[in-house]
Chain A
Amino acid sequence: MDFQQEYIEEAKQVLKSLEHSLLELEKSPDPDQVNNVYRYLHTIKGSAGMFGYDHVERLSHELEDLFSDVRDGIRQQDDFMLDLTLHAVDILRDLLDGKDVVRESEKIIESIATIKGTAASGKGGRGAEVVNGYVVILRPDENIYKRGINFQGVLDDIQELGVCEFMIHNETVPFERQLSEKRITSWFEIILASTKSLDEVKEVFLFMKEAEYVVLAITSIDLFSSAEYKAFIALSPEMIDARERMARQLIPTLSALAEPSVVRDDAKTDDAVSVDDADEEEQQTTTIKKSKRGGHVSVSTQKLDQLINIVSELVIFRSEIQHLMGNNQRPEIAEAIEKLESLTLKLRDSAFNIRLVPLNILNVKLQRLIRSVSKDLGKEIEFITEGLDTELDRSMINALEAPLMHIIRNAIDHGIEKPEERERRNKPRKGLLKFYSYNSGDHVFIQLQDDGNGIDFDKIKAKGIEKGLLNKGQQYSEKELLNVMMSPGFSTADKVTTVSGRGVGMDVVKKEIAAIRGDIEVSTEKGLGSIFTLRLPLTLTVLDTLVVNVNESKYLIPISEVEFCYQETYTKLFAKKSRQVNYEGQLLPFVSLREYFGDDSYPAEGTVIIINKNDTRMAVVVDNIVGKLQTVYKPLNNILQDVNCFSGASILGDGSMALILNALKLNQ
């Protein structure tokens, strides 16, 4: 991203100024320079977070803290501190360059902590993280938004403080609606567990009026039954219990505190009066959130699979209803079915979405691979990524890892030249490796582009001939040669290197990609580089298919493979000995499914379906087309694994089963 590059340049400028100020400080202490150092560190910290440089942010934050003490006269500067900070500047620079110096950075932070521990006598008790309990009672003014306060933001900030339990009181209007209408009529009781101090918690409410919030520290579990608390909320004993339970759960140290002891008697008698009121209120009180930053929930894959399974069945059931209602013309029913359809589809999409994760999770692995491979081979690589936020099914990403790594290894090993050679060719010393990813329709595309030498077709041809895969005298197109490159037992590495010579070739990559119903395409230009494009389905379980009929049996053909359909008489089809049809001036082989399945009776007319898969075309002749159906893909079990003309099975709307054709295999 451009901004990021721009940012790195700017941040490095600031680091330079910082270095300069530090060197000046080394000569003689000067309050102005201390101030500068503080300001530079502060700038680095603030900006690093904006661009996601978390380690830069953390390290500069610690340093900033150190120098703020120097500035405020709490601490004296010394050589060790300056040395450490100068070293930290180098590390910050490396971090900005994306180098893996996180461990060094952590070491510096530790050293800073020891400096602080020894000299900061005035600020004791900072190190240990103690979880404190608080109760926040918020009674925002109805017009809080009009005063310029974003109440949602305040709630978010509270959640940032730690773990909390929200209780909404007086929710006569749904809270979501209050937020969207910017008219808050509810009030809130929040139990919060946070490592922050009382003052830090109060900071969140800086922009609110004093009367709108109360923050109480939970020093004892008795708080909820105390008179102080009752002044804010009248609670029944059950409600007190509930709060005590919540607080104990959130704040472990509370359990260790003394159990409730005295002064509860007078509270109890008074309670009786307010119980009715409070009960009514309790009914309107809902616990909405209990969250740890961000609001993510981790769910076991088992549960997810179960959900997907149920949703899949629902999709089938929806088809079944549609099927049963096929001839029913009652508009109300048709409308209801339509609604059901749109809801099931929405449900299905959200269910599948849960399984999707961004490709980003591969990033670290790829970067590490690139770093180690390029080091091993003495090559310099610049790795650029774009679209890492593209989402794919988790299982797909897992399956993609090995082939992607293999392609990258190949690109660095065979594609990108050594730095000296690149300089001779007027290319930048660093080879460029780009990783692009984007969504298009039902597919995700991943492209890996390098600016290396491109694929050497002469080498492939020579190797192919040597391996007996190609004939010496024959001319081959580039596409054919690429196909050879991806066929089993082909590897052009001059010697078996630890990098790409692991006995796996591009054929394995192709197979692995095909296994997740993806395609791989290669384009290359000699001397300029290559692009590997992977095309992958968004999910593996739902498939749009064409339902065809062959002698009362139904088969499914993935819609993505169907290019064209037309009707033809059998006499015409079988007129010639060779099983070929003329499509767009091209002779394509065809397979009649009746013939294939050993049926020798033919109807007068059949339907020809032109299949196009990975640019390989053929035709399949069936009796007729039944319709289009969205099916849930189920793999065939082990016994049927060898039957490769079917890729899977699915259940039709009427509950019967149909096999999914793998048409290209019919012809082999």
Chain B
Amino acid sequence: MKKTILVVDDFTSIRHFVCEMLERKGYRTLGAANGDEAYNVLIANADTVNLVLTDYNMPDCTGYDLLKKIKSNVSVAQVPVIFLTAELSVEKMKAARESGLTAWIKKPYRAETFFSEIENALSLKTIKP
């Protein structure tokens, strides 16, 4: 079955671009424009979403807020979260890692790294029962 990735970015063009790229690689994608919307989409599709790929800096609910929300809800806490971001602050990333962030891809990214990070995060979830 196709793996589903939830792509969160307030920039529609980037969201669409990332979604299309992932779909070309054979993934199914869902999109959300901010953290709150993403959380709702995730809850509604809890049994199909395999990975959340989110921007960090978004208005209202940031990627970090989203991460914390996901990790504190048992029904979706096991879904790996990857930040796709231009944020470089190590403190922020350390905090995110402690909150359960799986990986951090810096924008702009290199395609190989990008897909291998995603594949890796997806394989994580399948290992766990």
Contacts and interface: CB of A to CB of B under 8 A. Distances in A.
B36 interface: no
Interface-centre pick from A3, A42, A145 (highest chain B CB count, 10 A): A3
Given A148-B102, A148-B103, A206-B97, A7 B57 contact: no
A153 B124 contact: no
A157 B103 CA distance: 13
Interface in A129-155: 145-146, 148-150, 152-153
Interface string A302-342: 00000000000000000000000000000000000000000
Interface stretch (B24-32, B40-48, B69-77, B110-118): B110-118
Interface residues of B, number: 34
B13 A10 contact: yes
B57 A42 contact: yes
A43 B11 contact: yes
A176 B46 CA distance: 36
Given A3-B16, A49-B86, A207 B103 contact: yes
Contact of B113 (A3, A10, A150): A150
A49 B105 CA distance: 13
B90 A46 contact: no
Contacts of B16: 3, 6
A6 B12 CA distance: 8
Given A153-B117, A156-B113, A206 B93 contact: yes
B110 A150 contact: no
A45 interface: yes
Interface in A347-397: none
B127 A146 contact: yes
A199 B90 contact: yes
B13 A6 contact: yes
B64 interface: no
A178 interface: no
Interface residues of A, number: 31
Interface-centre pick from A10, A45, A49, A50 (highest chain B CB count, 10 A): A50
B121 interface: yes
Contact of A49 (B108, B117, B120, B123): B108
B70 to A, nearest CB: 15
Contact of A47 (B11, B80, B121): B11
Interface in A193-219: 199, 203, 206-207
Nearest to B101: A207
Given A146-B127, A148-B80, A150-B120, A10 B90 contact: no
A206 B80 contact: no
B103 A149 contact: yes
B19 to A, nearest CB: 10
B116 A47 contact: no
Given A42-B57, A156-B113, A203 B90 contact: yes
A39 interface: yes
B80 to A, nearest CB: 6
A52 B111 CA distance: 13
Nearest to B114: A153
Contacts of B94: 206
B26 to A, nearest CB: 19
A10 B87 CA distance: 20
Q: Which 6 residue pairs are nearest across A and B when measured between Cβ atoms?
A: A46-B86, A49-B108, A7-B13, A6-B13, A3-B17, A150-B120
8 contacts: A6-B12, A42-B86, A46-B87, A47-B14, A51-B13, A146-B127, A148-B80, A206-B93
Interface of B: 10-14, 16-17, 20, 55, 57, 59, 80, 85-87, 90, 93-94, 97, 102-104, 107-108, 110, 112-113, 116-117, 120-121, 123-124, 127
Interface of A: 3-4, 6-7, 9-10, 39, 42-43, 45-47, 49-52, 57, 145-146, 148-150, 152-153, 156-157, 182, 199, 203, 206-207
